[in-house]
């Protein structure tokens, strides 16, 4: 009787365990699984829970609170029916297939990653491209594509771990390390393969656009637009793409 009960308990635990795999650390590597796609994906890692750097760390490294419905557009095929999220701390797109998560390591095979809404319409687009970082160095990374045109607008998400700064004398600050997210906008001209960061202050912003600057300024003033506001910024750059 005891042997039978132990056997039933073991079977029950084995069935329940996969449902809790999202609470495990993402540094463990699972082997002997099928890699989705054409081979441009890393071995699956265990799905990350709240964070990947220890129980005291607050916040999430992802810009999405949950897995989003997604579509992966490759140079030779498309992959649908997957979950997608962007990990800003590691600068990687993570894919969910079943209960296994993957990261892309052959980015040159990917045209873009589309995140879809509940009606399967495109909600966000991510691309991997070369850019000049804020230190003036050339590197490559993931960007959200906000406008695709002669002048493309990109958004770069970054995430760092900030150390505790709690002051016992002032009784203020944070007791735990935490993820801190930042965003920066870039432009990429069709004749240039490298995205460049832009300043959002009025004069510095329009200085990027040469002969188009005057018409862009007049348009922005006319309908009271500010490049420091994302929606206004997108309107200004859509207008810029209509200027010959």
DSSP per residue over 75-109, as a string? SS-EEEEEEEEEETTTTEEEEEETTEEEEB--GGG
What's the rounded mean pLDDT across residues 188-212? 91
pLDDT at 135 over 60: yes
Query: Is residue 45 in some structural domain?
Result: yes
Tell which wins on pLDDT, 163 or 147. Answer: 147
**179 and 105 inside one domain:** yes
pLDDT of residue 55: 59
pLDDT at 115 over 80: yes
**215 and 230 inside one domain:** yes
Residue numbers of the domain that contains 132: 20-197
**69 and 56 inside one domain:** yes
Tell which wins on pLDDT, 159 or 167. Answer: 159
**62 and 183 inside one domain:** yes
**147 and 207 inside one domain:** no
Query: Is residue 7 in some structural domain?
Result: no
d(CA 126, CA 156): 10
Backbone angles phi, psi at 182, to 5 degrees: -135, 160
**121 and 145 inside one domain:** yes
Token pair for residue 130? 């070369």
The mean of the pLDDT values for the chain is 79
What's the rounded mean pLDDT across residues 61-71? 92
Tell which wins on pLDDT, 178 or 156. Answer: 156
Query: Is residue 192 in some structural domain?
Result: yes
**169 and 237 inside one domain:** no
Domain count, the chain: 2
pLDDT confidence of 41, banded at 50, 70, 90? low
Residue finishing a domain among 180, 197, 214 = 197
């Amino acid at each position: 009787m005891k042997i039978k009960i132990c056997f039933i308990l073991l079977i029950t635990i084995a069935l329940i365990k996969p449902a809790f795999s999202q609470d495990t650390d993402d540094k463990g590597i699972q082997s002997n699984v099928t890699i989705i796609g054409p081979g441009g994906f890393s071995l699956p890692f265990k799905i990350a829970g709240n964070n990947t750097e220890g129980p005291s760390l607050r916040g999430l490294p992802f810009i999405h609170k949950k897995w989003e419905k997604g579509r992966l557009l490759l140079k030779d095929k498309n992959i649908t029916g997957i979950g997608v999220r962007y990990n800003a701390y590691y600068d990687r797109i993570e894919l969910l297939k079943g209960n296994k998560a993957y990261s892309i390591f052959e980015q040159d095979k990917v045209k873009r990653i589309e995140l879809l809404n509940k009606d399967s319409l495109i909600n966000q687009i991510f691309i991997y491209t070369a850019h000049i970082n804020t230190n003036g160095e050339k590197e490559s990374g993931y960007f959200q594509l906000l406008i695709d045109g002669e002048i493309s607008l990109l958004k770069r998400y970054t995430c760092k771990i900030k150390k505790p700064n709690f002051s016992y004398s002032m009784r203020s600050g944070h007791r735990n390390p935490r993820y801190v997210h930042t965003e920066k906008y870039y432009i990429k001209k069709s004749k240039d393969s490298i995205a460049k960061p832009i300043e959002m202050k009025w004069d510095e912003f329009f200085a990027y656009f040469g002969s188009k600057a005057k018409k862009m300024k007049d348009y922005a003033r006319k309908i009271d637009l500010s490049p420091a506001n994302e929606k206004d910024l997108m309107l200004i750059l859509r207008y810029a793409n209509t200027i010959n």
